[in-house]
Amino acid sequence: MATLDHLVVLAPSLASGVAWAEATLGVTPGPGGEHPLMGTHNRLLRLRSSNDEPGAAYLEIIAINPAATPTLQPPESRWFDMDDPALSERVAQMGPQLVHWVARVPALAVALQAWQQLGIARGEARAASRNTPAGLLQWQISLRPDGQRLFDGCLPTLIEWGPHHPTAAMPDSGLALQSLTLQHPQAALLQAACQTIGLDEVLISEGPARLSAQLTTPGGPLTLYS
């Protein structure tokens, strides 16, 4: 059974992402790390579940690390459409914003094969890792060579974590995820993709492409839109 793993907020720089979190969410994100494969870095915030229980989901603020050179080989692109000129320009002009989400699966190869049978080429499983004060985090993640998110970011990237999950070392942030809503013109196929991997905790409707994450913050309810 798949489950929501994390929300992805893309920022023009990590410093601007931290400032956005403090101004918008009312909290300072905790430490993250660097991703040598992609030349990116992040900051993280743990999310409680809708019933206010500590959960294994989090919000990731991610940006290109100007001091790093990715180890991926051209013409491969960074994950989450981070090298897409249109998305980069939008984020540069409008600031940090919700662009994508990631779902956790127990067997990535099996989930990718199931989607392949639906005609969805989510990519291949790639190994990735980053160092943390608690040790090395390792995972397998579905990546396309072109870095595309697919379905305008509404179809999740899939991840299979190694023995450790990052939320185990995260303090409570004061944020809770109430719901995630996906809206897309291909809602039926998006629904089928989620059902195929046992992902039933998101709301899906037909319409112009948009993600909506309903949060509870220290300052009250808040909805993030893509």
Q: What is the pTM of this model?
A: 0.96
User: How far apart (Å, rounded) are the C-alpha atoms in residues 78 and 8?
Assistant: 14
pLDDT at 199 over 70: yes
**Contact indicator for 47, 88 with CB cutoff of 8 Å:** no
Per-residue pLDDT, averaged over 187-192, amounts to 98
User: How far apart (Å, rounded) are the C-alpha atoms in residues 68 and 226?
Assistant: 27
pLDDT at 155: 98
**Contact indicator for 177, 166 with CB cutoff of 8 Å:** no
User: How far apart (Å, rounded) are the C-alpha atoms in residues 50 and 47?
Assistant: 9
User: How far apart (Å, rounded) are the C-alpha atoms in residues 58 and 28?
Assistant: 14
pLDDT at 139 over 60: yes
Q: Structural domain of residue 115, as residue ranges?
A: 3-225
pLDDT at 145: 95
pLDDT digits 0-9 by tens, 122-136: 999 999 888 888 788
Q: pLDDT above 70 covers what percent of the chain?
A: 97
User: How far apart (Å, rounded) are the C-alpha atoms in residues 10 and 118?
Assistant: 29
pLDDT digits 0-9 by tens, 28-73: 999 998 998 899 999 999 999 866 555 689 999 999 999 999 999 8
Number of domains observed in the structure of the chain: 1
User: How far apart (Å, rounded) are the C-alpha atoms in residues 45 and 30?
Assistant: 6
**Contact indicator for 42, 35 with CB cutoff of 8 Å:** yes
pLDDT at 131: 81
CATH number of the domain at 118, please: 3.10.180.10
**Mean confidence (pLDDT) of the chain:** 94
Rg (the chain; Cα; Å): 16
Per-residue pLDDT, averaged over 193-222, amounts to 96
Report DSSP letters for 170-225, one per residue: PPP-SEEEEEEEEE-TTHHHHHHHHHHTT--SSEEE-SS-EEEEEEEETTEEEEEE
